[in-house]
Amino acid sequence: MGNKPKSKSKSKADRKERRSAELDEISLLNEWIESQKPDSGSNPLALKPLPDNAPVGRLHDGSFSAYSAATKFSELPLSKKTMDALKKAGYVKMTEIQRASLPHALCGRDVLGAAKTGSGKTLAFVIPVVEKLHKERWGPEDGVGSIIISPTRELAGQLFDVLKTVGKFHNFSAGLLIGGRKDVEMEKERVNELNILVCTPGRLLQHMDETPNFECSQLQILVLDEADRILDVGFKKSLNAIVSQLPKHRQTMLFSATQTKSVQDLARLSLKDPEYISVHEKAESATPSRLQQTAMTVPLDQKLDMLWSFVKAHLNSKILVFLSTCKQVVKFVYEAFKKLRPGIPLKCLHGRMKQERRINIYSQFCEQRSVLFCTDVAARGLDFNKAVDWVVQADCPDDVASYIHRVGRTARYLSGGRSVLFLTPSEMKMIDKLKAAKVPIQVIKPNMKRLQPVSGLLSSLLVKHSELQELAAKAFIRYMRCIHIQKDKDVFEVKELPIDKFAASMGLPLTPNIRFVKKLKGKQLSVGESSVLELETSGGEPPAEIKRQKAETNKLREENLDLPAELLSLNDSEDEDVEKDLLLSKQTENEGIEKSAEFGDAVLPTRISKKKKKLKINIHRPVGTRVVFDEQGNTLPPLARVAGANNDDDLSLLDKDKRNEYYKKMREELMKVDKVDKVLDRQRRRDKRIKEKVKRKRGLGDEEEGSDEDLSGSGADEGTNGRKPKRSKIYFNSDSDDDGETRGKKESAIDDSISLAEQEALALKLLDAMHQ
C-alpha cells in the first residue's frame, strides 16, 4: 500500500488535475452502483452472464452495464487503482463467492458469506474494503476506516498480504496488529494514523484499552473472517467489548466456510438486513470437489505407528498433520519423529511458539516439501503457497466444522488434494456426522502389512532422552484431558480408550496417573494422591461454565495468544493441572503403588525439571562400575544403556522379550531398593527422635532443634538447625527436580550413625547392580 503511480507529478496543477479526475471517477462509480444495484435478497449467480466484449460502465444511452451479472473483475464498478492491482496480480475471472457477494457488498450492504474452503472469500471482502474507503476519499487524518478481524495471527498476516496486493496503488495506510510482536509501544504511537487495521481480537482490544486517543468512531466497514470462530464462545467477551466501541452505523461483512446461523450472534453485531450468500449450499458436498477424502480406523495405540508409516511412505510430499489441539502432543510427536529421522524435513507449529518462529515455520512450509505437525492454529484460512499434497488428521477434529477447515488446507482454488482421517474405533461415529454434513468421505482399510511399528524405538528413545520422557508423559496427560473436555460425547469418550496400551505405544514405561481418569474408574485414592487432589476439590468442583470456558480458552490459546489477561490466567490453570497430574504420577511411581499391567517395564520416575541441574558425584560408587551421564550431567537411569547400545550385549536388549525380561528384573530390584529406602528413612527419623529426646533432657532441645511435629511428620526432608538436609550422593535418577516427598525417601543419613551406613551399603550394592 502507499505505492504511488509512476506518472505522479509533484506539481500543484497535476495534483489538482488528478484530484479532479479521481472525483469524477468516484461520482461515476457511485452513479453506476446506485443505478444497477442488485435486488436485495437476489442471487447474482442466477443472472445471465454479460456477453463477451459487452460494453462496460456508462453506455451510449447514458445508462450503465449490469454489474450484478459480472463474471470478470473488469465488469464491476471498481476504481482504476483497484482494477490495475487485480490485473497485476493476475486476477481476471471471479470465483462464485466473488460473483455472488461483490455486487451486494459494493453497494454497501451487510453480507454474510459462506463458501467452501479455498474458494476465494478473501478477495470478496478485501475489494469492498478498499473501494469503500477510496470512494469516501479516506485519508490519514480520518483515522480508522476499516477493521478486518481474523482469529489467528498467521491468517491475519495472510489477509494483510492480500490487502497490500489489492491496495497496491491506493494511498491508504494499513497496519497488521497481532500479538506476539515486541513493537507494541511503537504500534501504539502509530495506530491512530492507520486507516485499515488487520488484527486479531486480543490485540485490537489491547489497543482499545491501552492506546491513548485510539478510537474507531468513524469506522465505515467491519469484516470478520472465519466469522463463526470469532463469534464462538471463546472470543465472546473480547468481541462484545470490541463491538461496544464501534459505531452502529457501518457496513459489516462476515465470511467463513462454515457460517453461523445464530440470530443471537448476528444481533450482537447489529447487522442490517444482511444478504445471506451461501454459494455452495445446494452443492453435493460441503468440501472442494477436487479433494479426495478417506478415513480409517486406527486403534489409539497404533496411531503413532500408522503416522510414522504414512510419513515414510510419502517422503516426496508436502504433508500437513493435525494433532490434538495441545502443544504437548505436537511437540512430542515432532521431537520423537525428528530423532527417528524419517528422511523428510519435519516442522511443528502451535500457538505457544514465539511469533517470529511461527512466521518462519509457516513460510518455510510454504516453500518446502516437508511435514508440518500442527494444532488447529493452522486449520483455518491459511493458503500455503505451493499446494499441500496431503492433510492428515491424526487426531479426530472437535467437530464437523473443524474437519472441513482442516481438509480445506489442500485442494485450494483449482488444485486437487488428498486427506486422510485417523479415527479410533470409538470415534467412528464421526463418520456419520461428516456424511450428514455432506462430506464425501470414504472409509478404507489400512494396509497393516505396511505398518512400521515405532513404539519399540520410542521406548528406547525415551530411555535415552530424559526430556523426551517428560514430554511424552505431558503429551499423554494433555491428550487425555483434551478428550475428557470435548463436548461431543458421542465421539469422544475417555473410558473407551485403551489407556495403558496407548501409554506404552508412546514409549512410556508406565501409564501416567491422571486424576480424572482415576475418578472415572472409581478407584480408591492412595495417600500420596490425596494432597494433590485436595488442591482440585477443596473449593468444590468448578462450575460447568468455568470448565467449558477453560476448555475453550485452552483451544484458543493453542491457536493464538492474543487473548485478554483474565482468559489467559484460566488457561494457565489448565497447564497447572497437567503439572499436577505429572507430579502425582511421579509420586505414585516412586512409591511403587501403580504398576503397568501389560507393559512389564521398570519404574522410571518422570521428572519435572524446573530447577537447574547440578552434576552429582557418587563418592560411594565402587571403583570400576559404569555410570551413564546425560548432557546435563545427571546420572541416567540404567536403561539408558538400552538406547545407547553400542555393543552386542546392549543390542540384545533391544529384543522385545529380552527387554521385557530386563525391565522385570529391574523392577524387582527397584522394589527391593525402595524397601531398603523406607527402612533407612524410618531408622533415620527414629534416630533423630532419640537424639532430640536426649538433647531435650539436657535442656538444649529448644535452641537447636526443630519441633517434634516437624521431625515426625512430613518434614522428613527438613534438616536440623533449620538447614537444608544434605542429599544422598547416590542417585537412581536426577534428584534436583524431585519433589520433597520422594527426595525425603532417597536421602540417607550417612553422617548420622554407623548402623545406617551399613544399611546404606546394602542399598548401594543393589543400586550398583543396576548400573552395570
Give the span between the Cα atoms of 240 and 243, in whole angstroms: 5
Per-residue x/- mask for ligand ATP, residues 337 to 366, rule CB under 6 A?
------------------------------
**CB of residue 208 vs ligand ATP: minimum separation in angstroms?**
26
Shortest separation between residue 68's beta carbon and ligand ATP, angstroms = 17
Nearer to ligand ATP, 118 or 512 (CB): 118
Stretch that binds ligand ATP, among 118-126, 134-142, 319-327, 731-739 (CB under 6 A): 118-126
In the complex, the smallest distance separating the C-beta of residue 71 from ligand ATP, rounded to whole angstroms, is: 10
Of the two residues 128 and 381, which places its CB atom closer to ligand ATP in the complex? Answer: 381
Q: C-beta of 556: minimal distance to ligand ATP in Å?
A: 18
CA distance 668 to 168: 72
Cβ-based nearer residue to ligand ATP, 228 or 395: 228
Nearer to ligand ATP by Cβ, of 258 and 505: the residue is: 258
Binding mask 3-32 for ligand ATP (x = CB under 6 A): ------------------------------
CB of 122 to ligand ATP, least distance (A): 3
- Distance, CA of 676 to CA of 717 (rounded, Å): 17
Based on CB atoms, which residue is closest to ligand ATP, 97 or 567?
Answer: 97
Question: Count of residues binding ligand ATP (CB under 6 A)?
Answer: 19
Binder among 82, 95, 549, 553 for ligand ATP (CB under 6 A): 95
**Minimum CB distance to ligand ATP, residue 34 (Å):** 25
Phi and psi at residue 752, to the nearest 5°: -90, -50
The residues in 97-116 that bind ligand ATP, with binding defined as CB under 6 A, are 98, 115
CB of 179 to ligand ATP, least distance (A): 20
Residues 129, 219 contacting (CB under 8 angstroms): no
C-alpha dihedral over 687, 690, 695, 697, to 10 degrees?
180
Partners of 292 in beta bridges: 418
- Output the smallest distance, CB 492 to ligand ATP, in A: 25
- Which cell numbers hold the place of 488? 461431543
- CA–CA gap between residue 119 and residue 415 (Å, rounded): 11
Q: Which of 20, 281, 413, 598 binds ligand ATP (CB under 6 A)?
A: 413
Cell of 755: 548402623
- Smallest gap from Cβ 76 to ligand ATP, in A, equals 12
Residues in the chain, total? 772
Residue with cell 445446494: 282
C-alpha cell at 684: 533415620
Coil, strand, or helix at residue 90?
Answer: coil
Q: What dihedral do alpha carbons 33, 39, 45, 46 form, nearest 10°?
A: -140
Angle formed at CA 272 by CA 268 and CA 275, multiple of 5 degrees? 105
| Alpha carbons 596 and 31: distance in angstroms, whole number | 77
Output the nine-digit C-alpha cell for 158.
495472510
Q: Find the shortest distance in angstroms from Cβ 575 to ligand ATP.
A: 30
Stretches 93-101, 104-112, 445-453, 470-478: which one binds ligand ATP (CB under 6 A)? 93-101
- Cβ–Cβ under 8 Å, residues 148 and 217: no
Query: Binding of ligand ATP at residue 120 (CB under 6 A)?
Result: yes
Alpha-carbon distance of 691 to 440, in angstroms, equals 78
Q: Least distance in Å: CB of 77 to ligand ATP? A: 17
* CB contact at 8 A, 324 and 363: no
Of 378, 349, 414, 343, the C-alpha closest to 119 is 414
Q: What single-letter DSSP state applies at residue 583?
A: H
Please, which residue, 123 or 764, has the CB nearer to ligand ATP? 123
Q: Residue 148 forms beta bridges with which residues?
A: 198, 223
For residue 366, the minimal CB distance to ligand ATP (Å) is: 11
Out of 99, 121, 153, 481, name the contact with ligand ATP by CB under 6 A: 121
Q: Which stretch binds ligand ATP (CB under 6 A): 120-128, 274-282, 321-329, 391-399?
A: 120-128
C-alpha cell, 433: 456426522
CB of 101 to ligand ATP, least distance (A): 11
CB closer to ligand ATP, 402 vs 596: 402
User: In whole angstroms, how close is the CB of 73 to ligand ATP at the nearest point?
Assistant: 7
Nearest to 253 by CA among 135, 131, 78: 131
DSSP letter (8 states) at residue 666: H
Cell of 265: 450472534
The 207-246 contact track toward ligand ATP, x by CB under 6 A, reads: ----------------------------------------
Min. distance of Cβ 636 from ligand ATP in angstroms?
47
Nearer to ligand ATP (CB atom), residue 98 or residue 606:
98
What is the C-alpha to C-alpha distance for residues 651 and 644, in angstroms, rounded to an integer? 9
CB-CB contact of 738 with 613 (8 Å): no
Amino acid residing at 122: T
Nearer Cβ to ligand ATP (91/476)? 91
Q: What is the DSSP letter of 479?
A: H
Write the binding mask 685 to 724 for ligand ATP: x where contact by CB under 6 A, - elsewhere: ----------------------------------------
CB of 409 to ligand ATP, least distance (A): 7
Contact pick of 280, 331, 412, 746 for ligand ATP (by CB under 6 A): 412
**126 versus 144: smaller Cβ distance to ligand ATP:** 126
Complete edge-to-edge strand list for the sheet that includes strand 111-114? 174-177, 196-199, 146-149, 221-225, 251-256, 111-114, 275-278
Q: Residue 417 or 744: which CB sits closer to ligand ATP?
A: 417
Closer by beta carbon to ligand ATP, 102 or else 602: 102
Q: Which is nearer to ligand ATP, 402 or 728 (CB)?
A: 402
Scan residues 361-390 and list those touching ligand ATP (CB under 6 A): 381, 383
C-alpha cell at 374: 500442527
Residues 17 and 438: their CA atoms lie apart, in Å, by 56
Q: How far is the CB of 415 from ligand ATP (least distance, A)?
A: 9
Residue 629: Cβ within 10 Å count: 12
Site residues for ligand ATP, window 249-308 (CB under 6 A)? Answer: 257
Task: Read off the C-alpha cell for 626.
Answer: 559404569
Which positions from 417 through 436 interact with ligand ATP, judged by CB under 6 A? none
Q: Please choose, out of 91-99, 342-350, 695-703, 715-723, the segment that lies near ligand ATP by the rule CB under 6 A.
A: 91-99
DSSP string, 690-744: HHHHHHHHTT-HHHHS--HHHHHSSGGG--GGGPPPPPPS--SS--TT--HHHHH
CA distance 352 to 141: 37
Strands 371-374 and 221-225: unpaired
Binds ligand ATP by CB under 6 A, chosen from 29, 70, 102, 123: 123
Binding site for ligand ATP (CB under 6 A): 91, 93-95, 98, 115, 117-123, 257, 381, 383, 408, 412-413
